[in-house]
Amino acid sequence: MHVHRFEKVWLGAALLLIVGFIATIAYGTVGVGVAMVDDSGGTIDAQAVANGETGTGFDDPGVVRQSEDHYVVYVVARQFQFVPGSGDDPIRIPADTRVTFRVTSADVMHGFSVAGTNINTMVIPGQVAELTTRFDEPGTYGLVCHEYCGAAHHTMGGSIEVVPQSEYDYEEVTN
């Protein structure tokens, strides 16, 4: 089989590009520690979530203070709101602390994405999505359901208020 010299050079460059991409992603995972959403959240009964009978933090969703530097936020997504998050019930967390979101659905598939950041997960009934992050900058961040979830999907947004640690009301959250 005859392969032209330019074709060989191109082939080599293409392979180099591909291996380079894989290497940067591997470095991101192993070196920098960019974590993926995976199966660490475990499974859950979606109907129990809907009825508030799971025996977990999802029965009374909100912010839980795990330790001085670690907060866990339980969020239930349902047609067509985040609890907490939507309307006049924003998710309130202190800046520059470790925050773990645990998100699940009470009905259909939803999305959970913080606009303009890489905090982004699918919310699948029966599964708990778990992701840990840190907000350095205080401010209001937009929360979006990015998976079509029914006729009023476009109303399903919310917000996260990141407050400087000095102004954070620790009494508000469950210990």
Partner 1 sequence: MVFVDAFPKTSKLVRSQFLVAFVALALGALFGIVQALHRTGVLRVISSADYYTILTGHGVLLALVFTTFFIAGLFAWAVTDSLERELPQRLAWGAFWTMLVGTVLAAVAIVGGLIGAPSILGHALKADVLFTFYPPMKAHPLFYVGAALIIVGSWVAGAAYFKSLWRWRSDNPDSRIPLRTFMVVTTMLMWYVSTVGVAVEVVAFLIPWSLGLVSEVDPLLTRTLFWYFGHPVVYFWLMPAYLVWYTVLPKLAGGRLLSDPLARVVFVLFLLLSTPVGFHHQYVDPGIPEGFKFIAMTNTMFLLLPSLLTAFTVVASMEHGARQRGGEGYFGWLRSLPWGNPAFAGCALAGLMFAAGGFSGMINAGMNINYLIHNTLWVPGHFHLTVGTAFALTAMAISYWLVPQLTGTRLRQRTTAVAQPYVWFVGMALMSNAMHRAGLAGIPRRTAEPTYDEFAFRAVGGSVAEMRLQIAVGGLLLFVGAAMFLWVMAATWLAHRGGQLSVNSDIPEPLSGPEHSPRVLDNYRLWTAIALLLIVIAYGPPLLGMIQNGLFAPGSPPIPV
Find the binding residues for partner 1 in span 68-127 (CB under 8 A): 86-87, 90, 107-109, 111, 113-127
What is the closest distance, in whole angstroms, from the C-beta atom of residue 66 to partner 1 in the complex?
Answer: 20
What amino acid is encoded at 116 in this protein? G
If one asks whether residue 28 binds partner 1 (CB under 8 A), the answer comes out as yes
Q: Compute the least distance from the CB of residue 72 to partner 1, in Å.
A: 15
Give the DSSP H or E segment for 154: none
- The Cα 129–Cα 37 span in angstroms is 7
* Stretch touching partner 1 by CB under 8 A, among 7-15, 51-59, 66-74, 167-175: 7-15
Determine the Cα–Cα distance for residues 89 and 61; give it in Å rounded to an integer: 11
* Residue 16 lies near partner 1 (rule: CB under 8 A): no
Pairing assessment for the beta strands 98-105 and 70-78 based on DSSP bridges: parallel
Q: Does residue 150 interact with partner 1 by CB under 8 A?
A: yes
Q: Where does this chain touch partner 1 (CB under 8 A) — which range of 51-59, 68-76, 144-152, 163-171?
A: 144-152
Q: How far is the CB of 14 from partner 1 (least distance, A)?
A: 4
Phi-psi category of 9—alpha, beta or left, where left has phi over 0 and alpha has psi -120 to 50? alpha
Q: Is the CB of 65 or the CB of 74 nearer to partner 1?
A: 74
Q: How far apart are the C-alpha atoms of 105 and 173, rounded to whole Å?
A: 22
Residues in contact with partner 1, total (CB under 8 A)? 74
Question: Strand, coil or helix: what is 151?
Answer: coil
